[in-house]
Amino acid sequence: MKKRLRVNKVCILTTVHNTFDTRIFYKQANTLAKAGYNVTLISQYRKNEVVEGIRIIALPILYNRLIRILVLPWYAFKLALYEKAAIYHFHDPELIPVAILLSLLGKRVIYDVHEDFPRQILSKYWIPAKIRRIIAKIAELIEKIACRFYTKIVAATPAIAHRFPHSKTVIVQNFPILNEITIEDTIPYLERPPYIIYVGQITEIRGAQEMIQAMSYLPENLGIKLLLIGNFVPSALETKLKQLPGWKYVEFLGWKTRDELRQLLGKSRVGLVLFHPKPNHIEAQPNKLFEYMSAGLPVVASNFPLWQQIIEKTGSGLTVDPLNPEKIAEAIEYLITHPKEAQQMGQNGRILVLKKYNWAKEAEKLLTMYREILR
């Protein structure tokens, strides 16, 4: 007997992101599950299981990038077809051929665009610099052609949305879930040690080297420590960063669960977001920026015009040249040595998240889009 399509069944696919990626699992999949959808997530994972009502179908975990790109999409395609879902929601550019095939088979397909993919290629360290522009142009053309096959496109920022057909595109921004990072039960701000924190992928273009160099410019008597949360990309970067003088003021903690992250934010005084001025970063809206604000932390961030508008005009932190470690150190020192002002900046950021930059508003956009597709 053939397996029949279920009208409330959603199949989410990713071959790149972690199974518990904040946007994919905790925001979108959870929102859909709580709204009554039957949600399946196909991703690299250790086993098949159900977590928080979401059925995870495990893809093999592959560490070789080329093999992953060539093999996993087709494995995911086979598993996705078996699901007979009403909607297929995919999150990676490397799944575009799979999405086109699903569409040709009559399936409803959503392309979720986290990044400006063609601009992102220009900063990929593993692609030879001489051919990045050519590959970026090809990627842009493929994305443009593939648009005709999608039922809807979800863009993570307004800047990304501009690249896609207006009639098909919905902006669902990556704002924090209200109260997920609430830290009322942790150390009161003025009693915290002088810890600053960075959360996310630790890469050169996200300012890893400048953050650590800045630590060596800070007065030693202040006892400032950088808590580094995440993973090194590439892994060899760890060895390089450990050679810097500022490393002795760093505590590298690796990847942490959401509960552990909440506790670490609750004992920190400043959050860092110092992305380099790369094409894919200028108009980005990194999740970590809003999570720091949600946790009531003042931020030190790159002085991109969009970020200045969000941060400085609302008094929720300081912006600096992300390529200048001395200026980064000056901003950190100011916030650590002016704790009452820093606390007020953190409160300003939290109020902003409560009023505007939160997932509740974005979740409703997601659900409205799903209802329209099924209708």
Residue 239, C-beta contacts closer than 8 angstroms, at least 6 positions apart: none
The two tokens of residue 327 are 């200026």
In a domain, 311, yes or no: yes
DSSP state of 25: I
pLDDT digits (tens, 9 = 90+) for 191-202: 999 999 999 999
Q: Which domain holds residue 220?
A: 189-355
State both tokens at 103: 């569409």
Residues 349 and 365 in one domain: no
Q: Mean pLDDT, the chain, as a whole number?
A: 93
Does 370 score more than 60 pLDDT? yes
Residue 328: closest CA among 339, 337, 319? 319
Q: What are phi and psi of 169, to 5 degrees?
A: -105, 135
User: Are 259 and 325 part of one and the same domain?
Assistant: yes
pLDDT of residue 184: 58
Q: Which residues contact 242 (CB under 8 A, 6 or more apart)?
A: none
> How far from the centroid of its chain's Cα atoms is residue 77's Cα?
24
Rounded average pLDDT over 11-30: 96
Cα-atom radius of gyration of the chain, to the nearest Å? Answer: 21
Domain with residue 12: its CATH number is 3.40.50.2000
Residue 4 has pLDDT above 80, yes or no: no
Same domain, 348 and 272: yes
Query: Which helix (H) or strand (E) is 10 found in, with range?
Result: strand 6-13
Beta bridge partners of 6: 85
Same domain, residue pair 304 and 203? yes
Contact residues for 1 (Cβ-Cβ < 8 A; gap 6+): none
- Do residues 110 and 32 touch, judged by C-beta distance below 8 A? no
Q: Report the SS3 class of residue 222.
A: helix
Same structural domain, 270 and 159: no
Grade residue 180 by pLDDT with cuts at 50, 70 and 90. confident
Q: Where residue 123 falls among pLDDT bands split at 50, 70, 90?
A: confident
State yes or no: pLDDT of 182 exceeds 90: no
Asked whether residue 132 is domain-assigned, the answer is: yes
Residue 237 lies inside a defined structural domain of this protein: yes
Tens digits of residue pLDDT in 62-112: 988 889 999 999 999 999 999 999 999 999 999 999 999 999 999 999 999
Record the tokens describing residue 271, joined without a space: 């959050």
**371 exposure class (CB count in 10 Å sphere: 0-12, 13-18, 19+):** exposed
pLDDT over 70 percentage in the chain: 97
To the nearest whole percent, how much of the chain has pLDDT over 90? 85
List, in sequence order, every residue forming a beta bridge with 251; answer none if it has no partner: 227
Q: Is the pLDDT of residue 179 over 80?
A: no
Q: 241 lies in a domain?
A: yes
The arithmetic mean of pLDDT across residues 276-301, rounded, is: 93
Q: What is the mean pLDDT of residues 116-145?
A: 89
> 226 and 169 in one domain?
no
Residues 240 and 105 in one domain: no
Residues 204, 296 within the same domain: yes
In a domain, 181, yes or no: no
Residue 135 forms part of a structural domain: yes
Q: Give the mean pLDDT of 207-220.
A: 97
Q: How many domains does the chain have?
A: 2
